[in-house]
Amino acid sequence: MNRCDPAGIPEHPECFGGGTSQHWPKRSHAGKASVIVARLCWGLHDAIDNGFRYQGRRWANSVTDGVYTITDRETGDVLYERAL
Band of the pLDDT at 28, cuts 50, 70, 90?
A: low
pLDDT for 32 beyond 90: no
Q: What is the pLDDT of residue 74?
A: 95
pLDDT for 29 beyond 90: no
Residue 4 counted as domain residue? no
Residue 7 counted as domain residue? no
How far does Cα 63 stand from its chain's mean position? 11
Residue 13 counted as domain residue? no
Average pLDDT over residues 20-49: 84
Residue 45 counted as domain residue? yes
Residue 6 vs residues 31, 32, 68, 71: alpha-carbon distances, Å: 25, 25, 11, 12
| Phi and psi based region of residue 66 (left: phi greater than 0; alpha: psi -120 to 50; beta: remaining) | left
Kindly report the average pLDDT of the chain as a whole number.
Answer: 88
Structural domain tally of the chain?
1
Q: Tell me which residue range forms the domain holding 32.
A: 19-83
Residue 9 counted as domain residue? no
